[in-house]
């Protein structure tokens, strides 16, 4: 994505996009003097900016609504989490998956989930979890999972219901406060992880392209020369070349290729004669 498209997507100026690129606020690389932005990291930056704007205006995105649900053929009180902007629950475009089936029999539980959703980026989830019977610790735990869009590394952490605040946390810290901090800390590292992965993918793609081009080159040489030098011949010639260079035999002058790439392009017969020459059997 170029700076023009990114500016339109984020609803900011092109100058702002360029600043984000220079400062690392988004994952971007320069190609032919132009910034190319990783779309997933731009999504993260937009989400973070929206979160800050929301915090400044103090407009909640989630709220708890009281209602009812039928359990065991009986209507019982229930509390559901909904979006204040009317965004529907679901997994499709324009829907919020975090509030899908987010209905609870206890109001305090619904309030806890709503607080987590309100204070974390989209893509992070919490749920209760009880280890299998084979586990030594079967106490119920909170399970934190998820990531921001495009992040190659998903978080998965547990926090026991029995957890109590220690000196590493401020007075009054609750379970949900810990889960929120863990999710935020993970989200803050998303842009760097996205950029690192993009760089790794680019390097891997370049290396793959080089290998494929080399294989095509060797395939053409096989059509022209027949069987090319074997790997064993190539390795042996490299050893002989190194010894020849070290001892200076024959004035130190070599009349054939001296690197792996050049030797690989020799026919098998030529490689055999080259070995004889390097050994002095000529």
Question: Of 164, 190, 216, at which residue does a domain stop?
Answer: 190
Question: Of 190, 218, 237, at which residue does a domain stop?
Answer: 190
pLDDT in tens, the chain (282 residues): 888 888 878 878 888 888 888 777 788 888 888 889 888 888 888 877 655 555 555 688 999 999 888 878 888 899 999 999 999 999 999 999 999 989 998 999 999 999 999 999 999 999 998 876 655 656 789 999 999 989 999 999 999 888 887 767 888 888 999 999 999 999 999 999 999 999 999 999 999 999 999 999 999 999 999 999 999 999 999 999 998 888 766 555 678 899 999 999 999 999 999 999 888 866
| CA–CA separation, 156 and 168 (whole Å) | 21
Instruction: Give the closest residue to 34 by CA, choosing from 6, 62, 10.
Output: 6
Task: Tell whether 120 is covered by a domain.
Answer: yes
Same domain, 26 and 86: no
* Order of strands, sheet of 103-104, starting from the edge strand that comes earlier in the sequence: 62-71, 74-83, 103-104
Assess contact for 90 and 146: CB atoms under 8 A.
Answer: no
Task: Tell whether 117 is covered by a domain.
Answer: yes
Same domain, 72 and 162: yes
Task: Tell whether 103 is covered by a domain.
Answer: yes
Same domain, 174 and 83: yes
Assess contact for 194 and 148: CB atoms under 8 A.
Answer: no
Same domain, 254 and 163: no
Q: What is the pLDDT of residues 82-115, one digit of tens each?
A: 999 999 999 999 999 999 989 998 999 999 999 9
Task: Tell whether 212 is covered by a domain.
Answer: no
Task: Tell whether 195 is covered by a domain.
Answer: no
Biggest CA pair distance of the chain: 100
Task: Tell whether 281 is covered by a domain.
Answer: yes
> What tokens were used for 264?
């690989």
In the numeric block, the tokens 């979890």 are attached to 129
Task: Tell whether 127 is covered by a domain.
Answer: yes
| CA–CA separation, 46 and 37 (whole Å) | 13
* C-alpha angle 56-62-68 in degrees, rounded to nearest 5: 160
Same domain, 95 and 27: no
Same domain, 50 and 78: no
Q: Which DSSP symbol is given to 155? A: E
Report pLDDT for 54.
Answer: 52
Same domain, 180 and 117: yes
Assess contact for 233 and 270: CB atoms under 8 A.
Answer: no
Residue-range definition of the domain harbouring residue 60? 56-190
Same domain, 171 and 47: no
Task: Tell whether 219 is covered by a domain.
Answer: no
Same domain, 78 and 169: yes
CB atoms within 10 A of CB 263: 22
Report how far apart, in Å, the C-alpha atoms of 204 and of each of 10, 50, 197, 198, 200 are: 30, 34, 10, 10, 6
In the numeric block, the tokens 């074997």 are attached to 230
Same domain, 170 and 241: no
Same domain, 110 and 43: no
| CA–CA separation, 274 and 159 (whole Å) | 68
Same domain, 15 and 25: yes
Q: Supply the angle between the helices 14-23 and 3-10 in degrees, to the nearest 10.
A: 100
Question: Of 190, 210, 234, at which residue does a domain stop?
Answer: 190
Domains identified in the chain, total number: 3
How are the residues of the chain apportioned to helix, strand and coil, as percentages rounded to the nearest 5? Answer: 50, 20, 30
């Amino acid at each position: 994505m170029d700076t023009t498209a990114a500016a339109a997507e984020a609803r900011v100026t092109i100058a702002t996009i360029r600043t984000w690129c220079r400062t690392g606020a988004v994952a971007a690389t320069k190609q032919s003097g132009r910034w190319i932005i990783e779309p997933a990291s731009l999504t993260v930056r937009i989400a973070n900016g929206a979160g800050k704007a929301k915090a400044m205006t103090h407009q909640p995105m989630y709220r708890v609504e009281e209602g009812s649900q039928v359990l065991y053929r009986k209507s019982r009180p229930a509390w559901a989490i909904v979006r204040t902007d009317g965004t529907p629950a679901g997994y499709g475009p324009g829907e919020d998956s975090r509030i899908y089936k987010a209905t609870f029999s206890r109001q305090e539980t619904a309030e806890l989930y709503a607080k987590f959703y309100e204070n974390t980026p989209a893509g992070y989830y919490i749920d209760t979890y009880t280890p299998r019977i084979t586990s030594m610790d079967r106490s119920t735990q909170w399970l934190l999972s998820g990531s921001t869009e495009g992040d190659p590394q998903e978080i998965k952490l547990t926090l026991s219901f029995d957890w109590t605040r220690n000196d590493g946390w401020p007075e009054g810290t609750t379970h949900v406060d810990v889960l929120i901090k863990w999710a935020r800390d993970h989200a803050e590292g998303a842009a760097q992880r996205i950029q690192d992965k993009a760089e790794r993918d680019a390097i891997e793609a370049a290396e793959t392209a080089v290998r494929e081009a080399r294989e095509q080159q060797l395939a053409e040489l096989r059509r022209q020369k027949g069987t090319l030098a074997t790997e064993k011949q190539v390795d042996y010639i490299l050893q002989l070349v190194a010894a020849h260079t070290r001892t200076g035999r024959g004035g130190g002058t070599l009349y054939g290729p001296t690197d792996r790439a050049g030797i690989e392009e020799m026919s098998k017969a030529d490689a055999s004669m080259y070995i004889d020459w390097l050994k002095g059997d000529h």
